Copies of this chain bind each other. A is one copy, B any other.
C-alpha cells in the first residue's frame, strides 16, 4: 500500500507548501483559491452542485462555502432565469482579481515544488485511475 501512502503524504505536503507560499505572498488561502478556480471555470454559471462535484465536498458544504465567498465579496449569487431553485454563481471583480494574482503565485509555487521533474507520465496515469474510479462509484455524490 506504498502507493496509497505516498499519494496521501505527497498531496498533503504539496497542499501545505503551496498554501504557505500563498500566505507569504499575501494571497487567499489555497482552499478559497481552489474554490474560485472552480467558479471561474463555469464562466459565471456555476451552481452549488457544480462546485460540490468539482471540489469533492458535499452539497451542504458547498452551499456554506459560497456563503463565505459571498460574505468576502469574491462571488455573487445571481438569479437563475431557467430554474428558480438554484442561483448562478459568478466571480465579482474582486474575485477575478484575487483569482488572477493567486493563480500566478499558485503556478510558481507548483513549478518550484516540481523542480523540473517531468510529471506528464504521472498525470496520465492518475487521469486513467481517476476515470476508472469515476465509472465504478460516484464518490461524494448523494
Contact = CB atoms under 8 A, between A and B. Distances in A.
Interface of A: 1-4, 6-18, 20, 34, 56, 106-107, 110, 113-115, 117, 119, 121-123, 125-130, 132-134, 136-137, 139-140
Given A115-B132, A130-B9, A137 B17 contact: yes
A1 B34 CA distance: 12
A7 B11 contact: yes
SS class of chain A's interface: helix, strand, loop or mixed? helix
Contacts of A134: 13
A125 B6 CA distance: 10
B139 A12 contact: yes
A138 to B, nearest CB: 9
